[in-house]
């Protein structure tokens, strides 16, 4: 497991706000050297904590205002096959394996509610799907985030080996 400190979290916070922030700007804002920032970012990438840099999307602005979560109970021996078939459906934007009655939580986006209904019918027709429960997403008052978790976990750590926290 990778050990991170407050400086790492601040670098991640800035990159989360704008992944295009340059190393020089990060170093200047954080009061550390460019080499420190470069080595920290490289370490976070090589350890697999940072897995990429990508834009965030507003699906409603892209023409997909209807979003839902479809919880699927599946035949356990069909898990891989069901996931493979879900991956072939463009409107499926995320799949999580879960515990409890439902085995998969599938996030989907469509243009209309009628299209959502057609999508649900397509999903439940996949061999191995036993039961489904669909929950319509009205709004996302708290989008996916990790910085507060990292803040909490590094609360008592320092700001690197030799650089005092500003």
Read off the pLDDT of residues 123-138 as tens digits, 9 standing for 90 and up.
999 999 999 999 999 9
- pLDDT > 70 in the chain, percent: 96
pLDDT, the chain, mean: 93
Write 147-151 long-range contacts (CB < 8 A, 24+). Answer: 147/9, 147/12, 147/13, 147/16, 150/4, 150/8, 150/9, 150/12, 151/9
At 166 the pLDDT is: 52
pLDDT of res. 157: 84
Q: Give the mean model confidence (pLDDT) for residues 69-84.
A: 97
Give the per-residue pLDDT at 56.
87
Q: What is the pLDDT of residue 24?
A: 97
Q: How far apart are CA 35 and CA 33, in angstroms?
A: 5
* Mean pLDDT of the 95-111 span: 97
Query: What CA–CA distance (Å, rounded) separates 108 from 122?
Result: 12
Domains and CATH numbers, the chain: 6-55 (1.10.10.10), 66-137 (3.30.70.920)
pLDDT of residue 159: 78
- Spell out the residues 6+ positions from residue 28 whose beta carbon is closer than 8 angstroms to its own: none
Share of the chain above pLDDT 90, in %: 87
Pairing relation of β-strands 92-97 and 66-74?
unpaired
| pLDDT at position 43 | 95
């Amino acid at each position: 497991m990778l050990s991170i400190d407050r400086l790492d979290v601040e670098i991640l916070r800035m990159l989360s706000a704008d992944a295009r922030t340059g190393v020089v700007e990060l170093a200047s804002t954080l009061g550390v050297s460019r080499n420190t920032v470069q080595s920290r970012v490289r370490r976070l990438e090589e350890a697999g904590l940072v897995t990429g840099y990508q834009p965030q999307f507003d699906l409603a602005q892209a023409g997909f205002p209807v979003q839902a979560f479809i919880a699927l109970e599946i035949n356990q021996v069909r898990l891989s096959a069901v996931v493979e078939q879900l991956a072939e459906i463009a409107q499926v934007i995320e799949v999580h394996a879960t515990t409890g009655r439902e085995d998969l939580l599938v996030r989907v986006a469509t243009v209309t509610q009628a299209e959502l209904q057609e999508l649900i019918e397509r999903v439940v027709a996949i061999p191995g799907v036993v039961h489904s429960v669909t929950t319509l997403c009205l709004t996302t008052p708290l989008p996916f985030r990790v910085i507060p978790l990292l803040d909490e976990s590094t609360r008592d750590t320092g700001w690197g080996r030799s650089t005092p926290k500003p």
